[in-house]
Amino acid sequence: MPIPEVAESFTGAVNRVTLGATKDDGGTRTKTVTVGGARNVVYGGSPEEAGETPVVAMDVLDTKPEDWPDALAEPLSDVLDSPGDWAKKCVEELGADLICLKFEGIHPDKADKDAAHAVKVTEEVLKAVAVPLVLWGCGNDEKDNEVMPKVSGAAKGEKCLIGTVTEDNYKSLTAIALADGHFLITEAPLDINIAKQVNILASDMGFPLDRIVTYQSTGALGYGIEYAYSIQERQRLAALGGDKMMAMPVICDVGYESWRAKEAKLEDAPGWGAVDDRGPMWETATAICLLQAGVDIIRLRHPKAVATVKGFIGKVWS
Amino acid sequence: MALTGLEIFKLLPKTNCKKCGMPTCLAFAMALAQKRAKLEDCPDVSEEAKEKLAAAAAPPMRKIVFGSGDAQVQVGQETVMFRHEEKFHNETVVAASVSDKLTGDELTKRIESVNALQFERVGTKIGAKAVAVLNESGSAESFAKACAAVNDGCDLAMILVTESAEAMAAAVTKVKDGVPLLAFAAADTAEAMAKIAKDNGCPLAAKAESVEVLAELTEKIKAAGVEDIVLALDAPGLQEQLYGLSKMRALALKKAFRPLGYPAMTHVCDGDGAEQGATAIGLICKYSSIVIVDTVEPYALLAALTAVMNVFSDPQKPVQVEPKVYPIGEPDENAPVMFTTNFSLTYYTVESDVEASRVPSYILVVDTEGTSVLTAYSGDKLNEKTVADAIAKYKVESLVKHRKLIIPGYVAVMSGKLEEATNWEVMVGPRECSMLPKYLQEAWN
């Protein structure tokens, strides 16, 4: 039976972004990672319109995490106190496409480490792995402004993805990321209007739009994921509609958010299955949900979640 | 697909006779489009116009109901591609499978595992809503027996899965009172399967290897007298399945293409529990109204069912938790008391961080009509009066000996008035609740 044509004629597309600088490009990475490029909604049209394959960035923390549930800490227990070894394990054994170095330990209410520590860890991880890095601050504006410019400098020319900048705190990191040749993560608190506003602010400082990746905030499955889901779908539609201020690839923080969920960490929960299965499943499920709404870079933590999510991506983006 | 006023106008007599009570045919057409008038009000409308308008008024995707009594479920009748455009209407039915190769104790155990797939989240019961019996034995007799056993041992709506019309006929006689969904009719079994469905009043799923062939098949089944149809695409892989589901949904909704104006179903059978859970979630999000899974691992089902709950929630209505006092851990009369709002996202974030602190505490949830702390404060739904009222209403003074109230850092500005209104000492907590564990451990010891 003849079927009516349903092809949409979108005028825009998601920007294509290539992270990581090789030797020829002035850096030391031997691998680069390209994301974005979608010319349709998720599963709209044909697989050729889906753009680049979504990638997994595994989290590496600058200081040993003290509050991780056993189910999460156990598979990484041999490397948690060494960011370099941790990153190496993620790339060489667990299939991480990128490493997201999260500077949890610089937070004044946590380990309150200084810039020298952050620079040392950055150098260590750059040396340990050949993939591009994501460099992510602690969320405390003052401390991030003090430390992250130094981190940026330590990775100068490597074309890292650095962030995050927000509506209220974007100037110093945007300026330094521009000077050091990095890509920038703009963050908004589950609010599509603020998301656009932060992009405009960064752009007004002369930061090129095609070097921005947006972070809309992430809710875990069962904890507000529907908000992130719909914002990501709306962002994709805006990009396809030709809105240059919303045409960036998207990153989400699945690892941290998922492992906060009760379903992931509650040890004794009769009827819910073993906690060792539940945690990775919750992380996987959160990632899979967000993939359906259009996401380009997924931050993950547990090896099993990485394997399952990459397995899904392999089946659907090829 | 609904017609516009102008499209309706073209079908009207255009006499401006005013018999309908409207000044012109165009005004009447506009009223019809907005559903403010009925076509019967026009005495001169042609039969052709009536047919066209009735066809256009039918929902673009048919609603399909199966199961009976409390186990009855409904799928379909979706109107949008994206939940933010309106909402998704009928939650995906997740069904667990039972093979007819199982007999005796094995069969009983499997049915028990299926029955155990019921959970409670946020005060709402979620669970597998259907059970699918698979004719893997190849025998009509075994299939009928297994269906009868499942019907006896499980209260869920049933899906009978067999390619054989003989097996379907044998099984359906045993369980037809439960109005099972019959799956699947293929091109060569369409007539026989349609007859069984029609004779027993059951909906029928049609299965074909491409969208084009499937559209032909549903027309054939409809011609045989079965109107309640479910679509099943026999795709070679997950990629083809997902793109096919999106295409069928778009054809139904955007093109009002009737041969595909039905809900779709899929069967996830590859991989371990986690892989099946992941695949199921992809299918739930992108347009499979029924998903059969072979896994009965609770961790996989809990995740998939939570995804259904979240994706099918109404984007217009903030999800709320019940305003009351929530004990976290086992708090005693010296435990800290803090308040937050009844916006579920806010509450669950706070709850999770209070749990992480391992300091047994009370969280007082103030009714802010489902808004977050700052929104509620600026909208005057969170003020000294609403907090004081909540303290009184939920008898917080009887729970603890002390009179210290921890308030969200973002509303530190209300401290003074709040102390006056409650006579409690106000302690300003952190702005970000991820700082709560540290705050509670330090400020409360």
**Nearest CA to A252 among A276, A266, A235?**
A235
Whole-number Å distance between alpha carbons of B315 and B62? 23
| CA distances (Å), origin B296, targets A221, B161, B300 | 20, 17, 8
Interface TM-score (ipTM) > 0.90: yes
CA–CA gap between residue A228 and residue B28 (Å, rounded) = 43
Question: Using a CB-CB distance cutoff of 8 angstroms, which residues of chain A are in contact with residue B237?
Answer: 315
- Give percent above pLDDT 90 in chain B: 78
Burial of A153 (0-12, 13-18, 19+ CB in 10 A): middle
Distance from CA of B85 to the nearest CA of A (A): 9
Please report where in the chains the tokens 């809900």 appear, as a residue.
B263
What is the three-class DSSP state of A55?
Answer: strand
Give the count of beta carbons closer than 10 Å to the beta carbon of residue A146.
Answer: 15
CA distance B52 to B47: 9
Answer whether the bond into residue A122 is a cis peptide, omega within 30°: no
Cα B94 from chain centre: 10
Reading the block at residue B134, the tokens are 């698979």
B227 token code pair: 């109107």
In single-letter form, the type of residue at position A301 comes to R
What does the alpha-carbon distance between residue A122 and residue A103 come to, in Å, rounded to a whole number? Answer: 10
Enumerate the residues of chain A whose CB falls inside 8 A of the CB of residue B257.
Answer: 3-4
Structure tokens at A266: 């509650």
Cβ pair B226, B190 in contact under 8 A: no
CA B291 remoteness from chain centre: 12
User: A289 and B356: CB-CB below 8 Å?
Assistant: no
Residue B276 has pLDDT above 70, yes or no: yes
Residue B35 — very low, low, confident or very high, per pLDDT cuts 50/70/90? confident
> For residue A281, what is the nearest residue in chain B, using CA coordinates?
B274
The phi-psi region of residue B16 (left if phi > 0; otherwise alpha if psi is between -120 and 50; otherwise beta) is: left
Peptide bond into B184 cis (omega under 30): yes
> Are B142 and B101 a contacting pair, CB within 8 Å?
yes
- Going by CATH, does the domain composed of B325-444 fall within 3.40.50.11600? yes
Structure tokens at B23: 């000044």
Q: Closest approach of chain B CAs to the CA of A283, in angstroms?
A: 10
Residue B35 makes CB contacts below 8 A (sequence gap 6+) with none
pLDDT surpassing 70 at residue A69: yes
Q: What is the DSSP string of A268-283?
A: --TTS--HHHHHHHHH
What gap in Å lies between CA A246 and CA A193, rounded to an integer?
10
* Contact criterion met (CB < 8 Å) for A230 and B116: no
Cα separation, A40 vs B300, in Å, equals: 30
Helix H or strand E encompassing A145: helix A141-154
Rounded CA-CA distance A110/A138 in Å is 10
Residue-wise pLDDT tens digits, A170-186: 999 999 999 999 999 99
Predicted confidence at residue B59, as pLDDT, reads: 83
Per-residue pLDDT tens digits for B36-53: 888 888 888 888 888 777
What percent of chain A clears pLDDT 90, i.e. is strictly above it?
A: 92
DSSP string, B17-80: --TTSSSSHHHHHHHHHTTSS-GGG-TT--HHHHHHHHHHHS-SS-EEEES-GGG-EEEE----
Nearest-angstrom CA–CA distance, A19 and B88: 37
Contact B298 A273 (CB under 8 A): yes
Residues of A in contact with B304 (CB under 8 A): 285
CA atoms within 13 A on the CB side of A182: 28
Three-class DSSP category at B220? helix
Residue spans per domain, chain B = 5-57, 63-311, 325-444
Interchain pair B274, A262: CB under 8 A: no
Crossing angle of helices B238-254 and B211-223, in 10° steps, is: 60
Interface size, chain A vs chain B, as Cβ–Cβ contacts under 8 Å = 168
What would the two tokens of residue A156 be?
């100068």
| Structural contact between residues B1 and B60, judged by C-beta atoms closer than 8 angstroms | yes
Residue scoring higher pLDDT (A79 or B19): A79
CATH number of B5-57: 1.10.15.40
- The two beta strands, B264-268 and B290-293, are parallel
pLDDT mean over B399-414: 95
Chain B contact probe: residue of A254, A259, A268, A289 with most B CBs at under 10 A: A289
Residue of A nearest to B314 (CA): A226
Q: What is the pLDDT of residue A127?
A: 98
Predicted confidence (pLDDT) at residue B1 exceeds the cutoff of 70: no
Determine the distance in angstroms separating the CA of A76 from the nearest CA of chain B, rounded to an integer. 20
Given A4, A260, A316, which is nearest B238 (Cβ)? A316
* pLDDT exceeds cutoff 80 at B307: yes
CB contact under 8 A, A4 and B255: yes
Query: What per-residue string of b and e applies to B178-208 under the rule 16 or more CB within 10 Å gives b?
Result: bbbbbbbbbeebbebbbebbeebebbbbbbb
Which domains are present in chain A?
16-316 (3.20.20.20)
Q: What is the pTM of this model?
A: 0.90
Beta strands of B281-360 (E only): which ranges?
Answer: 290-293, 325-328, 337-341
Instruction: Choose among B277, B302, B307: nearest Cβ to A272.
Output: B302
Q: Look at A229 and B307 and tell me if their CB atoms are within 8 Å.
A: no
Residues on chain A touching B277 (C-beta within 8 angstroms): 281, 284-285
Residue (of A164, A125, A174, A168) closest to A144 by Cα position? A164
Q: How far apart are CA B16 and CA A318, in angstroms?
A: 60
pLDDT class of A141 with cuts at 50, 70, 90: very high
Alpha-carbon span B161 to B201, nearest angstrom: 17
Structural element, H or E, at residue A229: helix A225-240
SS3 of residue B210 by DSSP: coil
pLDDT at residue A260 greater than cutoff 80: yes
User: Has residue B2 got a pLDDT over 70?
Assistant: no
| Span B129-176, pLDDT tens digits | 999 999 999 999 999 999 999 999 999 999 999 999 999 999 999 999
Residue of A5, A10, A42, A43 best to disrupt the B interface, most CBs of B under 10 A = A43
pLDDT tier for residue B279 given thresholds of 50, 70 and 90: very high
Alpha helices in chain A (DSSP H): 70-73, 83-92, 115-128, 141-154, 171-179, 192-204, 225-240, 254-258, 262-265, 275-293, 303-316
CB contact under 8 A, B277 and A281: yes
| Angle made by CA atoms B123, B128, B131, in degrees to the nearest 5 | 155
Residue of B nearest to A2 (CA): B212
Fold held by B63-311? TIM Barrel (3.20.20)
**What CA–CA distances, in Å, run from B310 to A290, B191, B317?**
12, 39, 12
Strand order of the β-sheet with B325-328 is B325-328, B361-366, B337-341, B404-407, B425-428
**Closest alpha carbon within chain B to A264:** B299
Taking CB atoms and an 8 Å cutoff, what residues of chain A touch B275? 308, 311-312
- First vs last Cα of chain A: how many Å apart? 28
Catalogue the E-assigned strands of B118-217.
118-121, 124-127, 130-134, 157-161, 181-185, 204-208
Residue A59: strand, helix, or coil: strand
Structure tokens, A40: 């349709």
CA-based nearest residue to A60, from A291, A286, A254, A299: A299
CA–centroid distance for B137 within its chain? 33
Closest CB from B215, B310, B438 relative to A109: B438
Handedness of CA B276, B279, B285, B291 (dihedral sign): negative
**Pairing assessment for the beta strands A16-19 and A33-36 based on DSSP bridges:** antiparallel
To which residue do tokens 């819910």 refer? Answer: A272
Name the phi and psi angles at B428, rounded to 5: -85, 120
The verdict on a CB contact (< 8 Å) between A224 and B345 is: yes
Q: Give the Cα separation of B312 and B90 in Å (integer).
A: 7
